[in-house]
A and B are shown apart, each in its own frame.
Chain A
Amino acid sequence: NAGVTQTPKFRVLKTGQSMTLLCAQDMNHEYMYWYRQDPGMGLRLIHYSVGEGTTAKGEVPDGYNVSRLKKQNFLLGLESAAPSQTSVYFCASSKNLGTEAFFGQGTRLTVV
């Protein structure tokens, strides 16, 4: 029962470096999401996808890019990391509209 798996779990980047966070789900869900969680601000939607090959901007998309080449995978890229992107990143997926989203375990990213 893997559910939603995020890779890596922890990462430290230097300002200006790039990286990609991988999210994989094995539930055949259509919808996938990337959120960031900052203290006192709850979770905020970065980008989301409603199906393979589609992506859309969420609430805080600047500085991030995403791709959904395969239904089961949703990648989040940081082209040039900034300290403001220090956060915990959560990936989630859901089957249908109006149903619960299942979350990955989170990735703690620190940009120094």
Chain B
Amino acid sequence: AQKITQTQPGMFVQEKEAVTLDCTYDTSDPSYGLFWYKQPSSGEMIFLIYQGSYDQQNATEGRYSLNFQKARKSANLVISASQLGDSAMYFCAMSPQGGFQKLVFGTGTRLLVSP
């Protein structure tokens, strides 16, 4: 069974600073994908970034990067140069590759960006 753990219920960061949101996972699947989603107060789920378990390089998408440490089973999201619009809930998720894609989500981290 797959499990995602997000240990930070809430995080605070000042505008223009960088912030790291933690995510650890547990799986017995040989290959898998890791995702981060953003959920603003309006409620929609917005895809941010994806990392495949066999990808050699850490994924980056604009101000988002995924610090993937396979041996530690961690997939932390790094947001550089935080903006007020980054205030939202952030969910880490994973799915197996080569099998049915059933996304398993963590409980989320609420990020508040202050001026």
Contact of A103 with B106 in the complex, beta carbons under 8 Å: no
Contact of A105 with B103 in the complex, beta carbons under 8 Å: no
Contact of B103 with A45 in the complex, beta carbons under 8 Å: yes
Contacts of B67 in A (CB 8 A): none
Binds B, one of A14-22, A61-69, A93-101: A93-101
Query: Would you list which residues of chain A between 4 and 30 have a CB under 8 Å from chain B?
Result: none
Partner of B105, one of A31, A43, A105: A43
Partner of B101, one of A59, A94, A106: A94
Contact of B44 with A105 in the complex, beta carbons under 8 Å: yes
* Alpha-carbon separation in the docked complex, A32 to B104 (Å): 14
Contact of A103 with B45 in the complex, beta carbons under 8 Å: yes
Asked if A74 lies at the interface with its beta carbon under 8 angstroms from chain B, I say no
Query: DSSP majority for the A interface?
Result: strand
Contact of B95 with A98 in the complex, beta carbons under 8 Å: yes
Interface residue range, chain B: 20 to 34
Contacts of B25 in A (CB 8 A): none
Contacts of B93 in A (CB 8 A): 43
Given the known interface contacts A98-B33, A99-B50, A103-B44, the answer about A42 and B107 at a Cβ–Cβ threshold of 8 Å is yes
Contact of B102 with A58 in the complex, beta carbons under 8 Å: yes
Residue of B nearest to A94 (CB): B101
Contact of A31 with B101 in the complex, beta carbons under 8 Å: yes
Q: Most chain-B Cβ atoms within 10 A of its Cβ — which of A42, A45, A94, A102?
A: A42
Given the known interface contacts A42-B91, A42-B107, A45-B103, the answer about A97 and B97 at a Cβ–Cβ threshold of 8 Å is yes
Q: What sequence of 0s and 1s flags, for each residue 45-58 of chain A, a beta carbon within 8 Å of any chain B beta carbon? A: 10010100000101
| Chain B residues in the interface with A (C-beta under 8 A) | 4, 33, 35, 37, 43-45, 47, 50, 52, 91, 93, 95, 97-108
| Sample of 11 more A-B contacts, CB < 8 Å, known A97-B98, A99-B101, A101-B35 | A41-B107, A43-B45, A48-B102, A50-B100, A56-B100, A97-B101, A99-B33, A101-B101, A103-B45, A105-B43, A105-B44
